[in-house]
Amino acid sequence: MFRGAWHGGGLSRVTTVVELNIQVDHIHLLVMVPPKISISDFVGMLKGRLAIGVLNKLKELKCRPYWGNHFWTRGYCVVMPLSAI
């Protein structure tokens, strides 16, 4: 599912996944994103594509609004190396 959202959404052409760790209730993703791409746009696009994929595959999640009709939380964490600042 992640692979489909990544490649199908064109994200693989401009970004590189360095590391991916999928847990039951959260995801850790280390990605190299070029400076020309807004981090917030990137995260929004990725969250949107993954949510659509998961909800299409696991239709029973649509019937249970556990998250107030939101698949992802609003926040995310961004870390940069000091050399990039």
Q: What is the pTM of this model?
A: 0.66
DSSP structure string for 19-67: EEEE-SS-EEEEEE--TTS-HHHHHHHHHHHHHHHHHHH-GGGTT--TT
Count of the separate structural domains present in the chain = 1
Please give the pLDDT value at position 79.
81
Assess contact for 30 and 16: CB atoms under 8 A: no
Please give the pLDDT value at position 68.
66
Range of the domain at 49: 2-84
All residue ranges of the chain with pLDDT < 50 are: none
Distance separating alpha carbons of residues 53 and 63, to the nearest angstrom = 16
